Amino acid sequence: MVRIVLTGFRGTGKTRAGELLAHMLNVPFFDTDALIEKRVGMTIYEIFQQYGEEYFRTKECETIASLDQTDSVVSTGGGAILDPSNVAALRQGSILFLLTADDRTIEQRIASTGRPSLTRLPLRDEIRMLQAARRPFYIGAADFCINTTHRDANETAMVIRHILAEGTVTRRDAEEFLLFVKSTAIALEEAAVLERTLCTPGRDHITRIYAVAGYPVGHSLSPLLYNRLFTKYRMNCLYTRLGSPDFDNIIREAKKIDIRGLSVTIPFKTDALASIDVADEHVTAIGAANTVLMFDGTTFGFNTDWTGIREPLSHLKGSRAVVIGAGGAAAAAVYALQSLDMDVVVITRSPAKAEKFSGRFSVRVSPLSGFSCANPDIVINATPVGMGSDTRSPIDVSLLKPGMTVYDLVYTPADTPLLTAARKAGCVTIPGTEMFVRQACAQFRCFTGIKVPPETVRGCLL
Ligand code: NAP
């Protein structure tokens, strides 16, 4: 047994289902709202009325941090999930179930108890507004999602007990998935770990599976990184690699094992759009997704690449920038730079190919020879030039000037020919590993709801 945490909006039945589940499992039950009321000596409604929501959230955070991590069932309010430190505290050594229900059902359930709305809005509007605002936070924050719209608390508790005992994947689907994985170029040890997790008698049914999807993926550092993070946060999750030339095939197979999330890499970041039911605004603007999550029967797409480019440059708002290349990483770079009000010129060896690209972002496109006219403060290499044993630089290094910031998105090797030349020319240099680290922080937050510091990610990659 582990600690079981139930969370969800008011009216999703988490408290009653939690009590029943604790009874079925013969473990203690804790309701954080009841613990807060005891701590403050007032009802939740009175706390909101007298001290406001901020005070309530502080007490909630203290209460969650003080919870025992022993075998138990915990029920906690859905608003707690908006704070990543609460999510980290709730998920460590636990299995987190998010209970959902449609707005109408929630309204009927709350109204039937006579509980007042907690904001100044009418109950119906409060529910609609809060549910919509919280959904992005809920998508990654739970191991499992149970829709309680057509279930009473007893049925919900029974479903949870069934998942704890049997998981959500049939033996046959797990075996079919494993055959698929073994047909790809996965390392023997990684396939063996997956087989033990999914198919061995006596297996742990509730391990959630994540993977990097691309072709090829043998070089990806993501399995090492995410498995170390899952261990650090004591989460029952396994990250593997799915390397196949057909993205549709990957998605079809991944769904068989109820995959929780995918990191999408070359060459599928654009292909992924066709498999996504709901794309966030950045995916739509960039035209590519690098993160896919499955949640409550829906496939969600996110892009965290652009934050990985933006963060190390965020102090240089309004600068002039040149992006070299016009592929997927260049699109994320232009989006990131424009979000910092920069004047961006894309230089590419094939400007004709970049026409579509320039339409999307309204940037100037120029051949490689246009570098010096742009007179940039910032240079971003978004081509593979300089990768691996390639000793070339994507531009003539004599054009680099002291004080320029040069960000090479290539991260193998960490020190590229462009960066070496830029350092010699007196430029500020940023290696591609920074993009990898920063986008991974954002991706881990999408995957789990937990905010991990960049230093922790760097440490996991050593
Ligand atoms: P992509 O979609 O294939 O685009 C590559 C771009 O580079 C294209 O515009 C291509 O031009 C251009 N290019 C290729 N070879 C060139 C050369 N010899 N001279 C001039 N231009 C050249 O690839 P991508 O996904 O954007 O990735 C680009 C780079 O970013 C890769 O090195 C990748 O490793 C890196 N990246 C790093 C991270 C990270 O976390 N650090 C994340 C994503 C990507 P044509 O269209 O004319 O071929």
Cα-Cα-Cα-Cα dihedral of 238, 239, 244, 245, to 10°? 140
pLDDT at 124: 92
The residue behind tokens 């009473």 is 152
Cα 442 to ligand 1 centroid, rounded to whole Å: 22
Domain with CATH 3.40.50.300 in the chain: 3-166
Structure tokens belonging to residue 405: 């910031």
Q: CATH homologous superfamily of domain 3-166?
A: P-loop containing nucleotide triphosphate hydrolases (3.40.50.300)
- Binding pocket residue ranges, ligand 1, CB within 6 Å: 266, 305, 308, 325-330, 348-350, 353, 382-385, 387, 394, 409-411, 432, 435-436, 439
Which ligand 1 atom sits closest to the C-alpha of 353?
Answer: 46
Q: Which of 268, 286, 322, 349 to mutate to test ligand 1, by most ligand atoms within 8 A of the CB atom?
A: 349
Calculate the CA 209 to chain-centre distance: 14
Query: Is residue 75 pLDDT above 80, yes or no?
Result: yes
Architecture of domain 316-436: 3-Layer(aba) Sandwich (3.40)
Query: Is residue 250 pLDDT above 80, yes or no?
Result: yes
Q: What average pLDDT score do residues 149-173 get? A: 96
- Mean of the per-residue pLDDT values of the chain: 95
Cα 328 to ligand 1 centroid, rounded to whole Å: 7
Q: How confident is the model at residue 424 (pLDDT cuts 50, 70, 90)?
A: very high
Give, for 264, the enclosing helix (H) or strand (E).
strand 261-264
Q: What average pLDDT score do residues 38-42 get? A: 97
Using one digit for the tens of pLDDT, what is the confidence trace for 8-35? 999 999 999 999 999 999 999 999 999 9
DSSP secondary structure of 73-104 = EEEEEGGGGGSHHHHHHHHTTEEEEEEE--HH
> Contact at 8 Å (CB) between 233 and 91?
yes
Using one digit for the tens of pLDDT, what is the confidence trace for 369-406? 989 899 999 999 999 999 999 999 999 999 999 999 99
Structure tokens belonging to residue 431: 């290696």
Q: How far is CA 94 from CA 5, 144, 153, 440, in A?
A: 7, 12, 21, 23
Q: What is this structure's pTM?
A: 0.94
pLDDT at 108: 94
Q: How confident is the model at residue 205 (pLDDT cuts 50, 70, 90)?
A: confident
For 50, counting Cβ atoms within 10 Å of its Cβ (0-12 exposed, 13-18 middle, 19+ buried), the class is exposed
Q: What average pLDDT score do residues 60-71 get? A: 96
Among 120-129, 237-246, 393-402, whose mean pLDDT is lowest?
120-129
Q: Which of 383, 385, 434, 437 to mutate to test ligand 1, by most ligand atoms within 8 A of the CB atom?
A: 383
Domain with CATH 3.40.50.720 in the chain: 316-436
In this predicted model, which residue has the larger pLDDT, 363 or 352?
Answer: 363
The residue behind tokens 């988490």 is 14
Query: Is residue 116 pLDDT above 80, yes or no?
Result: no
Which ligand 1 atom sits closest to the C-alpha of 305?
Answer: 42
Among 40-44, 290-294, 353-357, whose mean pLDDT is lowest?
353-357
Query: Is residue 238 pLDDT above 90, yes or no?
Result: yes
Q: How confident is the model at residue 201 (pLDDT cuts 50, 70, 90)?
A: confident
Using one digit for the tens of pLDDT, what is the confidence trace for 255-266? 999 999 999 999
| CB neighbours of residue 274 within 10 Å | 9
Query: Is residue 323 pLDDT above 80, yes or no?
Result: yes
Q: Which of 313, 409, 458 to mutate to test ligand 1, by most ligand atoms within 8 A of the CB atom?
A: 409
Q: What is the DSSP pairing of strand 208-214 with strand 94-100? A: unpaired
Cα 198 to ligand 1 centroid, rounded to whole Å: 36
Which residues 6+ apart lie within 8 Å of 29 measured at CB?
A: 18, 19, 21, 22, 23, 72, 73, 74, 75
Cα 300 to ligand 1 centroid, rounded to whole Å: 25
Domain with CATH 3.40.50.10860 in the chain: 171-303
Which ligand 1 atom sits closest to the C-alpha of 386?
Answer: 32
d(CA 331, CA 208): 32
Cα-Cα-Cα-Cα dihedral of 144, 149, 153, 158, to 10°? -50
Collapsing DSSP to helix, strand or coil, 172 comes out as helix
Cα 51 to ligand 1 centroid, rounded to whole Å: 53
Q: Which residues are annotated as catalytic?
A: 269
The residue behind tokens 């999930």 is 81
> Contact at 8 Å (CB) between 430 and 215?
no
Domain spanning 171-303: CATH 3.40.250.10: no
